[in-house]
Chain A
Amino acid sequence: MPCTWVMACAYAPSGCAVACGGLDNKCSVYPLSLDKNENLAAKKKSVAMHTNYLSACSFTNSDMQILTSSGDGTCALWDVESGQLLQSFHGHAADVLCLDLAPSETGNTFVSGGCDKKVNVWDMRSGQCIQSFETHESDINSVRYYPSGDAFASGSDDATCRLYDLRADREVAIYSKESIIFGVSSVDFSLSGRLLFGGYNDYTINVWDVLKGTRVSILFGHENRVSTLRVSPDGTAFCTGSWDHTLRIWA
């Protein structure tokens, strides 16, 4: 990678390519190959170009389109093959830190969270912001759709995770405790949506019962901030990445 900090990476749905980006303001797509002799750097394709750092990227349902969010306050949809900008999304007043695509196959919406404390829901085809939620008290570091696609959770530097229902158009739950004062860097749901896992800057992972609003358990193990968290596609485990240079898998 040409730049020092990589802040975002994503697998293509087919598993044949990886997109990544960071302080270089670009999102580059690398085709993957099992051939050790192949010079992958030569095959790199620069797809997105922002005017500030790339905070998150995600392929849409196909390998051909990629959605990016940036420190310049915008999100954008790009065509991978031509590198052309297909749609841009303006509405955040500050850096956009995270995004997540709606789970359904026919879904055309995605949600983004930013440093302006707002979470916006966008229509990918029109570029319009459909809904907006502003109840967090600080930067929103992570957003994740509920498995059914009707709700989403967000994690913020205000040490809370919140659940918003899209059809009711409001916040429906807050997951917080007075003893938790460090920000949430990353959230993800278990397969059924009953559990919400949050990675916190106090090196722990808190597991919340989504429906009851209570904490189910707290997990220790990392020696520094948990910066990212993802549940595996089959739901049997989740993985956390941390500033302590390790990735841990919890099952």
Chain B
Amino acid sequence: MSSKTPSSSSVAQARRTVQQLRREARIDRIKVSKASSDLMRYCGEHAKNDPLLMGIPTSENPFKEKKPCTVL
């Protein structure tokens, strides 16, 4: 799958990879405990707006099973 050609360009390639890795290593990271609590908070805040999670009240559901209607 990789199409890197081995030759003098591999040194330039390696240099670019090292620069990219250095850039990536420098970024500020937050702790996973904070990140996951933020995700949980977001879910909690938006859960009531999520129809797939909370379900739609039967009165508004256009696809609900219709009961046969009897006319006396």
Contact = CB atoms under 8 A, between A and B. Distances in A.
A165 B36 contact: yes
Interface in A209-251: 210-211, 231, 234-238, 251
A5 to B, nearest CB: 21
A235 B49 CA distance: 9
B31 interface: yes
A236 B1 contact: no
A31 interface: no
A75 B27 CA distance: 23
A234 B42 CA distance: 17
Interface residues of A, number: 38
A168 B43 contact: no
Nearest to A166: B35
Interface residues of B, number: 30
Q: What DSSP secondary structure best describes chain B's contact surface? A: helix
Given A128-B23, A167-B29, A235 B1 contact: no
A84 B40 CA distance: 42
B35 A191 contact: no
A234 B43 contact: no
Q: What DSSP secondary structure best describes chain A's contact surface? A: loop
Contact of B32 (A73, A93, A168, A210): A168
Nearest to B46: A192
A222 B52 CA distance: 20
Contact of A211 (B3, B20, B31, B43): B43
A172 interface: yes
Interface string A176-214: 000000000000001111110000000000000011000
6 contacts: A147-B42, A168-B34, A169-B29, A172-B35, A191-B49, A234-B51
**3 nearest interchain CB pairs?**
A192-B46, A192-B50, A168-B35
Given A190-B53, A191-B49, A236-B56, 19 more contacts: A93-B1, A94-B2, A95-B1, A116-B1, A130-B27, A131-B24, A146-B42, A147-B42, A148-B38, A150-B35, A150-B39, A165-B32, A165-B35, A168-B29, A168-B35, A194-B46, A235-B49, A236-B52, A251-B52
